[in-house]
A = this chain, B = another copy of it.
Amino acid sequence: MLKISRKLLISATGRNSPQTQRFVSKVNLQGILPPITTPFNDDESVAYDKLSHNLNIWNSINFRGYVVQGSNGEFPYLTPDERVNVVKHVKKNIPDNKVLVAGSGCESTSATIEMTMKMGDNGADAVLVVTPSFYKNQMNSQALMKHYVKVADASNMPVILYSVPGNTGINIPLEALAELSQHPNIIGTKESGGDVTRIGEIVRLTKQHDFQVIAGSAGFMYAAYVVGAVGGVCAVGNILGKQVVDLHHMIMDGRWDDARELQHRLIAPNSAVTAKYGVPGLKTAMAWYGLYGGSPRYPLQQLTEPQVLDLRKILVDSGFL
């Protein structure tokens, strides 16, 4: 894995941790990292062979790496052991030059720290830490800052923040992001909410701190890039990986007309496998691209037949099937 920078890490908040100094590698997130699905067998066990099959296909695409156990990985439905084992399995099945970002967020700070350490011990290059969200009213700037500082202080790996309000009802407030971006172990944020004004403001507030802002969906990827996002963690990359990588390069290369056209084509398919049909939709579509989708775990439901037809039509109409 490419190490692009090193900086002296000093705990940002003396109160919360021992004053340790260490050198930690920073991970470069510039590029596309699909948040891969977790395949299950019919009995709901993890289908490791199918995961290998999918990775084998994905490895031929010019991805920057993978996000394992983002929202599309059904991480809330995995046991702690399964979370670790899936990461370990992915590590064994991807080349060394691919970044492996592992979701380690849990509701409690202590469980998040424990999961973070395990992810690091099992091959992750960085962790993605979703906001705790059950006690929404209490998850203010102060609580979220303390949570992330504690996790980042404890972590032996770079930490990526993660706001996904569609699932959690929570965005990390801007002032908390500005503060957290100064922590040497916090290297970026994944923004899945699609509010590009917010994304632009995050870039502005954090730009002195070598902080990487990642678009959390392909639907607003081009827009996020022009205001300073550097990478994309896009569900639709599971099925249209090459196209999402192309979009990244078009923008990087300044091919604006191509970028706009491809961005337009990606919006409807992306919405179909996220907001509209979610993980069940994404898994259904995977089969049409030679990948193993399979069923989601309960209580997620497989698509109905009319939903399958609608999803297929959206992909056909966009020229992707």
Question: Measuring CB to CB, which residues of chain A are less than 8 angstroms from any residue of chain B?
Answer: 44, 71, 76-77, 79, 107-111, 132, 134-139, 142-144, 146-147, 150, 166-169, 194-197, 200-201, 203-204, 217, 219-220, 222-224, 226-228, 254, 256, 259-260, 263-265, 267-268, 270-271, 275-276, 278-280, 297-301
Contact = CB atoms under 8 A, between A and B. Distances in A.
A264 B227 contact: yes
Given A138-B279, A194-B195, 13 more contacts: A44-B110, A76-B132, A77-B110, A136-B166, A136-B167, A138-B278, A138-B300, A197-B217, A200-B219, A200-B264, A222-B227, A223-B227, A226-B256
11 contacts: A44-B110, A134-B168, A135-B279, A137-B166, A138-B279, A147-B299, A196-B220, A197-B267, A201-B271, A204-B268, A228-B264
A223 B219 CA distance: 12
Smallest CB-CB A-B distances: 5 pairs: A223-B223, A109-B298, A197-B219, A147-B299, A77-B108
A71 to B, nearest CB: 8
Contacts of A228: 260, 264
Contact of A227 (B137, B195, B263): B263
Contact of A299 (B108, B226, B254, B275): B108
B254 A298 contact: no
A70 to B, nearest CB: 12
Nearest to A137: B278
Copies, count = 4
B227 A299 contact: no
A245 to B, nearest CB: 19
A150 to B, nearest CB: 6
A79 B226 contact: no
Contacts of A144: 299
A76 B134 contact: yes
Contacts of A146: 298-299, 301
Contacts of A301: 138, 142-143, 146
A132 B110 CA distance: 22
A196 B76 CA distance: 29
Q: Which of A108, A196, A226 has the most CB of B within 10 A?
A: A196
Contact of A260 (B217, B227, B270): B227
A289 B300 CA distance: 44
A82 B271 CA distance: 39
Contacts of A254: 256
Nearest to A274: B137
A18 to B, nearest CB: 16
Contacts of A147: 298-299
Q: Which of A132, A134, A136 has the most CB of B within 10 A?
A: A134
A203 B297 contact: no
Nearest to A168: B134
A141 to B, nearest CB: 11
Contacts of A138: 278-280, 300-301
